Amino acid sequence: MQRFIAALMAAASCAGIAHAQTAPLSGVPTAAPAGGDVVTLESALAQGGAASPSIEASTAGVRAATAARSVAGLKPNPEIQATTENVAGTGIYKGLRSSETTVGLALSLELGGKRSARVALANARLTRAEIQSAIAIADLRLRITQLYVEAAAAERRTEVLGEQATIAANALRIASERVRAGAASPIEQQRADVLRINAQVAVDSAARQAQAARSNLAALTGAPITGSLDRGWFDQVASLYGPSLPTEVEATLAYVAATADVRTADAQVRLARTLRVPDVTISAGARRLEQTNDTAAVIGVSIPIPIFNNGRAFVSQARAEQTQAQALRNLVALDTRQEIARAQTELANAAATARATGGPALNAAAESARIARVGYSQGKFDQIALLDAERTLSQTRQAYVDALAAYHDAEARLQRLTTPAPVAGER
């Protein structure tokens, strides 16, 4: 099972979007915080896979299903029977003088293929448990990836806001110089000071959010996140060309799990039918007659009479559950196909938004802010024009970070939806 988990984690790590080439975008500060090694997404996934309670629980479920399969194949145990008759009565039956003691063995013979039906049901449940283990791994990868994206985006927003705070401080300095030179009114200095204070408050708030995101990621991976996050990975956006390739829904985890539920229901129907066949209990023993000191053999056969419970209701219940499982599988196929199409669209849109925001839009906003700063320092532009340009630059940078986060989130959700189910040999 551990080899299966490791193989699945490694395979998922190499999975990507078809016909995609990645390229970093520029425009937002990328300086990594000092200290510690870079914590990549794959290292975070490896840590989470090694210490996750969900993986441990799913693994225990597989072990339990394996044990249940062994139990299903067991035959009924024989029974030792002992009876004493004609004792503690009256007359000749007073005491033990006329007692009859019988000692024997009884064995129940299962008919109708009950044992093989139980084994088939146990095998179906084991397969379902193995698929559930794969689902737990895929869900864990998705959650870790989303938290990693959240933490990386929060740190990037902190950097953006930090740079804007520096710009606000410089604007306050220039405004103060202009006021002292008599080129501007004191209100410009006050306005610049307010903006500087607000910028610093935003930086502090973003830093706390970044720390909280790191803590959440560390809690899920089971290890502290001491190094910097992979900024290069966060800046990479896939180049998507043409329409999305169709996905084989029948190979996804969701559909395979639903199919396993159908096979389990089929096995349950088979078992319910076998239970309608009565079992036969055969007994054999020896009887000692105290009065004559003789011994005689005793042979018995016991067959239940299905009058009150003939098993028909159990079969009807199993068939209804079978029909339900088949309908749910059809629903899963429909929902999965729609979710994949939606995720593909969101991924393409997020990639386009990130490229547009981090490219032409960000370059234009940065150039406009640069011109406004130079013009304001030279007295060519008023403060309102400068503040508007700086606000536009800040909003564009944050929009770019948000677009990158949305892109990676959509990519992670799409990879989760399209994660292939393990083949029988890998389980």
Amino acid (one-letter) located at 352: A
Q: Cα separation of 3 and 368, whole Å?
A: 56
Q: Say what the pLDDT of residue 245 is.
A: 60
Question: Cβ of 390: how many Cβ atoms within 10 Å?
Answer: 22
Q: Which domains does the chain have, with CATH numbers?
A: 2-12+43-75+116-275+325-417 (1.20.1600.10), 78-109+277-310 (2.20.200)
Task: Identify whether the C-beta of residue 261 lies closer than 8 Å to the C-beta of residue 125.
Answer: no
Between the alpha carbon of residue 58 and those of residues 61, 63, 128, 315, the distances in Å are 5, 9, 11, 30
Q: Cα separation of 20 and 154, whole Å?
A: 26
Question: In the chain, how long is the greatest CA-to-CA distance?
Answer: 136
CA angle (420, 425, 427) in 5-degree steps: 70
Instruction: Phi first, then psi: give them for residue 298, nearest 5 degrees.
Output: -125, 125
Q: DSSP H helical segments within 80-230, as ranges?
A: 114-180, 186-221
99: enclosing H helix or E strand: none
Cα dihedral 274, 278, 284, 285 in deg (nearest 10): 120
Q: Say what the pLDDT of residue 48 is.
A: 77
Q: Cα separation of 174 and 176, whole Å?
A: 5
Give per-10-residue mean pLDDT for the chain (427 aa).
45 40 42 61 82 84 95 94 84 77 93 94 96 93 94 90 84 80 79 86 91 89 84 84 67 94 97 94 90 88 90 95 96 94 91 88 86 81 78 87 93 92 63
Q: Say what the pLDDT of residue 5 is.
A: 43
Cα dihedral 45, 50, 54, 60 in deg (nearest 10): 150
Q: Cα separation of 139 and 145, whole Å?
A: 10
- Total-model pTM: 0.77
Amino acid (one-letter) located at 174: I
Handedness of CA 52, 54, 60, 66 (dihedral sign): negative
Q: Say what the pLDDT of residue 336 is.
A: 94
Q: Say what the pLDDT of residue 11 is.
A: 44
